[in-house]
């Protein structure tokens, strides 16, 4: 028969158990971010798009807030002459709309005049002739600081700031990235640390001190990149952001979870899936080819509204189970529309939005992933 455990033995056992757990497991539970990148909303509304719930037209920011979204992500380009959006004026409008609904904001600096992503990081045209790395770092610092200071003066300082978007390649390159070419980490570290310092300095003079996020596309690239960054002296960050699209990733969902768990054990930073999406149909509403097609599907998650909802719930639970603290859906409001772009008329994402283009942009159930009751399970 077992004998009663004495107080000191019980305390010793508890200490041993806690010591065996990863550091994040002993931390108090952190709030979860349920996010949506709403960078396209202002443009969509100007293009005549209206969003509906139960047949009634509604402000999309109100819709997202009412369905549990607590974080709005918004991108910023330097000087995108090819569009009237994603400049500072447009960003201010988006942040103001998010704040009116009580949602926090993640500002995403692309440090480019165009899309910066896991395949390309092209330097802004205005900075292209700056050859000296220290001068380029000062320019990046000033742009970051001045942008945040301008937002703060308007009462719009974001709670989180991305220093770069999907920065797998070397930041602000002058030529398209050759994946076989190594990153010049002496240069790369100077640029990242300049951006990080600008966020810290701007926050020190504001009521809101934004957290710094560094963001890499696809989980298989995250650990090598952060290991190289640490060796080069890039260590002052609060959040690791990961893009996860099964179409472009070699990792399954369980492998993504394992990556998140290792990152939480290795770095004193939060981890978020800051971009993901899933198709609810394989149909198209316009002439543009949809980027997420049949090659994006995962077994068990059909291209249906319920399949999209289940994917988002299961992915978010996976993130939570492994110590992560948030998921952001990319462009859930970028639906079919009448406007022409350089690629054609409409959207290449309407089948992965949260609105049914076949039914007057009626709200789909995928948005409710943010209201699901996620279990905080004990780590295995």
Domains of the chain with bracketed CATH = 28-371 (3.20.20.80)
What percent of the chain shows pLDDT beyond 90? 87
Helix axes 305-321, 253-266, angle to 10 degrees: 30
pLDDT greater than 60 at residue 16: no
CA distances from 102 to 17, 33, 107, 155, 370 (A): 39, 13, 16, 13, 15
Q: Read off the pLDDT of residues 200-236 as tens digits, 9 standing for 90 and up.
A: 999 999 999 999 999 999 999 999 999 999 999 999 9
Rounded to whole angstroms, how far apart are CA atoms 339 and 3? 76
Tokens of 39: 């960078």
113-152: string of b/e by CB count within 10 Å (b at 16+)?
A: bbbbbbebbbbbeebeebeebeebbebbbebbbebbbebb
Render pLDDT for 23-45 as a digit per residue (tens, 0 to 9).
656 566 788 999 999 999 999 99
Helix (H/G/I), strand (E/B), else coil: 277: coil
pLDDT at 4: 44
Tell me what percent of the chain is helix, strand and coil, each rounded to the nearest 5.
40, 15, 45
| pLDDT for position 6 | 47
Would the pTM of this model clear 0.95, i.e. be above it? Answer: no
Average pLDDT, rounded, for the chain: 93
Nearest to 354 by CA among 375, 373, 328: 328
Torsion, CA 146, CA 150, CA 152, CA 158, rounded to 10: -70
Task: Give the list of residues 6+ apart from residue 216 with CB closer than 8 angstroms, or none.
Answer: 118, 166, 167, 168, 222, 225, 226, 240, 241, 242, 243
- Reading the block at residue 297, the tokens are 């599907």
- Looking at residue 23, its pLDDT comes to 60
Q: Which residues are catalytic?
A: 166, 275
∠ CA 192-320-276, rounded to 5°: 60
């Amino acid at each position: 028969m077992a004998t009663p455990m004495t107080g000191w033995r019980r305390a010793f056992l508890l200490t041993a158990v806690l010591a065996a757990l990863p550091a994040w497991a002993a931390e108090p539970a952190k709030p979860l971010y349920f996010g949506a990148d709403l960078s396209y909303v202002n443009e969509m509304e100007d293009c005549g798009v209206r969003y509906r719930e139960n047949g009634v037209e509604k402000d999309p920011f109100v819709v997202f807030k009412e369905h549990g979204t607590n974080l709005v992500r918004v991108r910023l380009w330097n000087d995108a002459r090819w569009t009237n959006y994603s400049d500072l004026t447009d960003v201010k409008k988006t942040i103001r709309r998010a704040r009116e609904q009580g949602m926090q904001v993640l500002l995403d600096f692309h440090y480019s005049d165009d899309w910066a992503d896991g395949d390309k990081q092209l330097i802004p045209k205005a900075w292209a002739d700056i050859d000296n790395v220290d001068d380029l770092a000062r320019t990046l610092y000033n742009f970051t600081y001045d942008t945040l200071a301008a937002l703060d003066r308007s009462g719009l300082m974001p709670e989180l700031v991305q220093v770069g978007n999907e920065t797998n390649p070397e930041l602000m390159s002058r030529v398209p990235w050759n994946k076989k070419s190594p990153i010049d980490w002496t240069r790369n570290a100077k640029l990242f640390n300049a951006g990080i310092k600008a966020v810290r300095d701007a926050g020190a003079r504001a009521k809101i001190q934004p957290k710094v996020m560094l963001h890499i596309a696809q989980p298989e690239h995250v650990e090598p990149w952060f290991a190289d960054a640490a060796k080069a002296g890039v260590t002052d960050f609060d959040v690791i952001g990961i893009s996860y699209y099964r179409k472009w990733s070699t990792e399954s969902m369980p492998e993504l979870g394992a990556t998140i768990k290792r990152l939480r054990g290795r770095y004193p930073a939060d981890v978020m899936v800051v971009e993901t999406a899933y198709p609810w149909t394989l149909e198209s509403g316009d002439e543009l080819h949809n980027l997420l097609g049949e090659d994006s599907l995962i077994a068990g998650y059909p291209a249906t509204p319920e399949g999209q909802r289940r994917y988002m719930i299961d992915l978010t639970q996976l993130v939570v189970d492994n110590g992560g603290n948030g998921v952001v859906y990319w462009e859930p409001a970028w639906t079919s529309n009448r406007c022409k772009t350089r690629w054609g008329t409409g959207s290449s994402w309407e089948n992965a939005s949260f609105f049914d283009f076949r039914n007057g942009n009626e709200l789909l159930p995928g948005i409710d992933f943010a209201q699901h009751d996620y279990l905080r399970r004990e780590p295995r």
